[in-house]
Amino acid sequence: MRDALVRELNQQLPLRGLAERLQLARALVSGQVVLTNSFGLEDQVLTHVVVQSGLEIGLVTLDTGRMFPEVYDLWRKTEQHYGVSIQPVFPEAKDVQDLVQAHGINGFYDSIEARKACCGARKIGPLKRVLDGAQLWITGLRADQSQQRGQAEWAQYDEAFGLIKVSPLLDWSRDEVLAFAQAHNVPVNPLHKQGFVSIGCAPCTRAIAEGEDERAGRWWWEQDTHKECGLHIGADGRLQRAGTV
């Protein structure tokens, strides 16, 4: 059943427009569907389509406690613009306390291990809680964001979170996403105009230079080119693919 659903989504999603992709994903499952919005450009466009299409898809954001002030402003503006409530999910207090005690308040700069521990406490743990019981997870992942994300599939079973993950914007370019946002008056983060393309926690994000990979501004002090926090990465350190089902 699960494998057949993943195959059907991979066959049907490329043939449809964005709204139809989201409608199909919602229609093919009977359980809960969740869209996680980090208030980046892609997630804002997906939120717009979900709301305008009247789809029964939960809107959730992971508040790590280290976000840019502009993100909180956009969060409020988005809720007011669309007349919706975006559910916040916070880290467990003890997890953050243990993290800071072990690595220091900004220990993520010291090693990849410490950085991944921070992502685990502030993002992965909360995400597991919010996806618990859901059947399908909508993400804003695009294939051209990085070489690693270029390996992604339209739909795939995510072993780490135990549900199907769908990326309706997989074949869109950033220019196409931006054009859609402008044409439909989608609220967007003002940091984008300052060179912040992929926006995560404030201490871990910088603006990128012309010609740099979109993900270059994330964890910019690390030399590793495969920069992911763990939301889209399997136990083997690779991007989850449908072929692993």
| Average pLDDT value for the chain | 90
Contact 46, 169 (CB under 8 A): yes
Contact 82, 46 (CB under 8 A): no
Query: What is the per-residue pLDDT for 224?
Result: 56
What type of residue is 179? A
Q: Which tens digits make up the pLDDT trace of 165-178?
A: 999 999 999 999 99
Please say if 204 is a catalytic residue. no
C-alpha–C-alpha distance, residues 120 and 219, integer Å:
14
Q: Which of 36-45, 63-72, 151-160 has the lowest mean pLDDT?
A: 151-160
Query: What is the per-residue pLDDT for 145?
Result: 73
Name the residue ranges covered by the structural domains of the chain.
2-191
Q: Which of 118, 119, 204, 229 is catalytic?
A: 229
Residue 213 has pLDDT above 90, yes or no: no
Name the architecture of domain 2-191: 3-Layer(aba) Sandwich (3.40)
Record the pTM.
0.88
Phi-psi region of 104 (alpha: psi -120 to 50; beta: other; left: phi over 0): left
Contact 12, 148 (CB under 8 A): no
Query: What is the per-residue pLDDT for 148?
Result: 60
Query: What is the per-residue pLDDT for 244?
Result: 32
